Structure 1
């Protein structure tokens, strides 16, 4: 089993270009697994962790409701945003500048074969990272992602998650608001959940901006510990 993970920071990159790249990496892992089974080969499968920041974009998961997007095509153009229906779980979400997006593309057979455990560990990575900033982040029952003040009228989401898995290979991932323009969330019903707010780390800390590279370092530290892995 190959428990090493290749880290790639893609910087500021178009959503569709990144999605296509994810698909290429995903297919490469799946093809290796198929070859191993058909030919009784014993080839290692690769694992990747992509960091990226996207231009303004709304994405709708395969089980999502298009009515949760509150803009038409002309309004999307005016906002400088794009829209894609994609093949992850979950409903609608927003990606944009000031948000750390992470796409772990892993062969879970190198780690454990439990998609629920995978999601819980990604959430735990976020929770532990935010704790380093003095925030008590939590899970909200029945709602994937990471929240603050769960169970109160002030509940607000700081990290959205949506993944796809096939043959135990993952893609897509999480979006953590660091210095995000929260006004863009007003154009959707985030994750299809009405009546709950969205927040960003800089807002919670009362800062104009937070060092995103520092947040990435903390995320990776906890990811390495939780997944008992090594970054290359």
Structure 2
């Protein structure tokens, strides 16, 4: 392992960007980091180069994505239905089942070399969830986790009407991460009716707008979320 650590993380906000374009971009950064780590293994420690880290935020036009462990049956509309909804569909290489991305949703793609932070995927996922939980707390919303399910949930304790507000799906190789999370802020929740979200049939989906009764400032929410991620991971954002 490279004994030099780099906790500096470049923050990139892509705004609204086509899903495939963002996927290609994060894949390029991911592969660069993986290849650098492979090259480093062949060099003495003193000659090894520091690996870079990135935190990408963006929004996507309407799109459904299916993870490696998901079922195509969980997409409930056909090609004509996708066209009518002005939506696209991709099978991708993250974990998890099917989810929806669209305007009003903060999608986060951390491209991190976890050797710079900690080598624990479970902890990595929990930290991403915790950043969303802390952000929601700033808006007076209590959120948390449900055993056996990833993501961030409301009514997670009594579970009379549990509803997901943030989904997670990640990939990692040689402790380098890609893909990430989708946090519903002002998301058009009707689009979730065309899928079985994350393969979970008996629980609802919600958004910050739905819970508070008014659209929220995306930039403000992004800033709070970004700061909580940086604090939890002890990142130095630039």
Q: Give the structure-2-normalised TM-score.
A: 0.96
Structure 1 Cα separation of the partners of residues 213 and 84 of structure 2: 30
Residue 153 of structure 2: SS of its match in structure 1? Answer: strand
| Structure 2 match to 1:185 | 192
Structure 2 Cα separation of the partners of residues 220 and 12 of structure 1: 17
Of residues 38, 42, 45 in structure 1, which corresponds to 2:48? 42
Structure 2 Cα separation of the partners of residues 31 and 25 of structure 1: 10
Deviation digits for residues 115-164 of structure 1 (CA, Å, limit 9, x no counterpart)? 00000000000000000000000111111000000242310000000000
| Structure 2 match to 1:155 | 162
TM-superposed CA distance for 1:39, in Å, is 3.0
Deviation digits for residues 80-110 of structure 1 (CA, Å, limit 9, x no counterpart)? 0000000001000000001010100000000
Task: Output the aligned Cα RMSD.
Answer: 0.7
The runs of at least 4 consecutive aligned structure 1 residues that moved more than 6 Å come to none
- Pairing 1:214-225 to 2, within 5 Å after superposition: 214-225=220-231
| Structure 1 match to 2:86 | 80
Structure 1 Cα separation of the partners of residues 35 and 43 of structure 2: 12
Task: Could you tell me which runs of 5 or more consecutive residues in structure 1 were left unpaired when the two chains were aligned.
Answer: none
Aligned: 1:8 with 2:12: yes
Structure 2 Cα separation of the partners of residues 189 and 152 of structure 1: 19
TM-superposed CA distance for 1:74, in Å, is 1.1
Number of aligned residue pairs: 231
Deviation digits for residues 51-87 of structure 1 (CA, Å, limit 9, x no counterpart)? 0100000000001011000011111111100000000
TM-superposed CA distance for 1:210, in Å, is 0.1
Structure 1 Cα separation of the partners of residues 82 and 42 of structure 2: 47
Aligned: 1:21 with 2:28: no
Structure 1 Cα separation of the partners of residues 226 and 104 of structure 2: 18
Q: Give the structure-1-normalised TM-score.
A: 0.98
Structure 2 Cα separation of the partners of residues 128 and 51 of structure 1: 18
